[in-house]
Copies of this chain bind each other. A is one copy, B any other.
Amino acid sequence: MMTARQYEESLRKLNIVVYMFGERISNPVDHPIIRPSMNAVAKTYELAHQPEHEDLMTATSHLTGKKINRFTHIHQSVSDLVKKTKMGRLLGAHTGCCFQRCVGMDALNAISIVSHDIDAEYDTDYKDRFLKYLKYVQENDLTCDGAMTDPKGDRSLPPHKQPDSDMYVHVVKETEEGMVVRGAKAHQTGAVNSHEIIVMPTIAMREQDRDYAVCFALPSDAEGITYIMGRQSCDTRKTEQTRLDTGNPAFGGHEALVIFDDVFVPWDRVFMFREHEFAGVLVEKFAGYHRQSYACKSGVGDVLIGATQTVAEYNGTQGASHVKDKIIEMNHLNETLFCGSLSCAAEGRREPSGTYSVNTLLANVSKQNVTRFPYEIARLAQDVAGGLMVTLPSAADFASSETAHWLEKYYGASANVPTENRRRILRLIENLTLGTAAVGYLTESMHGAGSPQAQRIMIARQVNMQQKQQMAKNLCGIEE
């Protein structure tokens, strides 16, 4: 397993093509806006070496029997699934943001199931290819981007009917050595911090869309791949001289648009090739795992709750009954989220491939709550924090000889609390509820792993309505 430092070094060796603010970024690792997101991924390497976190952060490879980082592991039991949930919360709490690496783990696990299923249907050799690839990932402890969301163009049309045929990633050429693909994947969390990009289809597909039914893996710096960074609320605060106003100076997340401009993929890195009827299955399996992954938001919630309790103490309001009650409510909602992710894991089951998958119904129920509760937790945090969170002058004002004395005088709530500490905790709450981390804690909670309506459709499909109706009819005496 790599250390955090080795991970950083490994990224430096990549030659990825990244643009931001209209310019190519020559050194992404040290770019002030990108680096915090690299730090967050690095935490997944760092904690794996800490004995107290070993149980959650590492696993034993079912391929090699070696200890590996859990992010490269294929779940072999319900216990593995439960540990994944807890690992997510742990890292959320240690970074206060999106640590980006779960999406690759979820892609690996989904493909481990579906490559097996395609082979069973068509006598193909996808699973062998995949296991070889998996071994490579495990042995090199790689970070993978699981890339699913295509730009989709006109949403009322299927891939092959789009005016621009590249709106979904597709095969444009086929050779003996491999295939050539074109298209793009949007909203790619942590793409620029990844060694590998694992591409999956984004919707169920029909026969006519078969060229779009492809799944494959590429090194993140393969020729023809371009990354364009998305911008976030308050992103440029990271470029200011002092980092205090960022709220969370060390950690952040990022999303990028990833463009595949006729990129070559060798066959041994192709895990689905035109088996269109398995596109939807892969989406569903990945979605199930990824909806479970939002356990991380309970970890980010822990940070926001801790910050809120702290600001209440700094403000001297921690004993007010309404403040205590609001913090209880924040905890209640945060733990309810945790219950969802835990229970879809606890109710997991073995797939024919041997991989354990989560309970789909409960994973969707859990994610649906994730689209609601963080917003309410954030609202309560703003309530307790007070208005100063959004009217606090800049760190530069606090550093300036002309204004510092006024600010220290008038923003010193309590003799025992340095004004700087008060600013720091307020900026962290701002970060989580309005700033760069709000992008992950709120909007990504809404849309990541599928927008709320996607979960509602799955809930409707997964419940056994006929059984419920039969129960009701039995009880009230309806015979049909």
Which of A369, A371, A444, A477: most chain B Cβ within 10 A?
Answer: A477
In the bound complex, do residue A468 and residue B309 qualify as a contact, i.e. CB atoms below 8 Å apart? yes
- Indicate if A406 sits at the interface (CB-CB under 8 A): yes
Which of B186, B317, B343 is close to A339, meaning CB atoms less than 8 Å apart? B343
In the bound complex, do residue A257 and residue B393 qualify as a contact, i.e. CB atoms below 8 Å apart? yes
- Of the stretches A153-161, A210-218, A280-288, the one at the interface is A153-161
- Indicate if A63 sits at the interface (CB-CB under 8 A): no
Which of B164, B229, B251, B421 is close to A475, meaning CB atoms less than 8 Å apart? B251
- Indicate if A209 sits at the interface (CB-CB under 8 A): no
A236 to B73, CA, bound (A): 43
Which of A237, A256, A391, A460: most chain B Cβ within 10 A?
Answer: A391
Interface residues of A in 194-234 (CB under 8 A from B): 226, 228-234
A399 to B19, CA, bound (A): 12
Interface residues of A in 374-404 (CB under 8 A from B): 375-376, 379, 382-383, 386-394, 396-397, 399-400, 402-403
A142 to B15, CA, bound (A): 60
- Indicate if A328 sits at the interface (CB-CB under 8 A): yes
Check A390/B230 contact, CB under 8 A, given A156-B316, A415-B163, A425-B472. yes
In the bound complex, do residue A391 and residue B230 qualify as a contact, i.e. CB atoms below 8 Å apart? yes
Q: Mark A328-348, 1 if CB is under 8 A from B, else 0.
A: 100110011011101111110
- Of the stretches A130-138, A172-180, A432-440, the one at the interface is A432-440
Interface residues of A in 274-323 (CB under 8 A from B): 302-307, 309-310, 315-317, 320-322
A48 to chain B, nearest CB (A): 18
Q: Mark A356-382, 1 if CB is under 8 A from B, else 0.
A: 000001100110110110011001001
In the bound complex, do residue B362 and residue A339 qualify as a contact, i.e. CB atoms below 8 Å apart? yes
A386 to B386, CA, bound (A): 29
- Point out residues on A near B: beta carbons under 8 Å: 19-24, 82, 93-96, 151-156, 163-164, 166-167, 184, 186-187, 226, 228-234, 236-237, 244-245, 247-251, 255-257, 259, 302-307, 309-310, 315-317, 320-322, 324-325, 327-328, 331-332, 335-336, 338-340, 342-347, 361-362, 365-366, 368-369, 371-372, 375-376, 379, 382-383, 386-394, 396-397, 399-400, 402-403, 406-407, 409-415, 421, 424-425, 427-428, 430, 434-435, 438-439, 442-444, 446-448, 451-453, 456, 459-460, 463, 465, 467-473, 475-478, 480
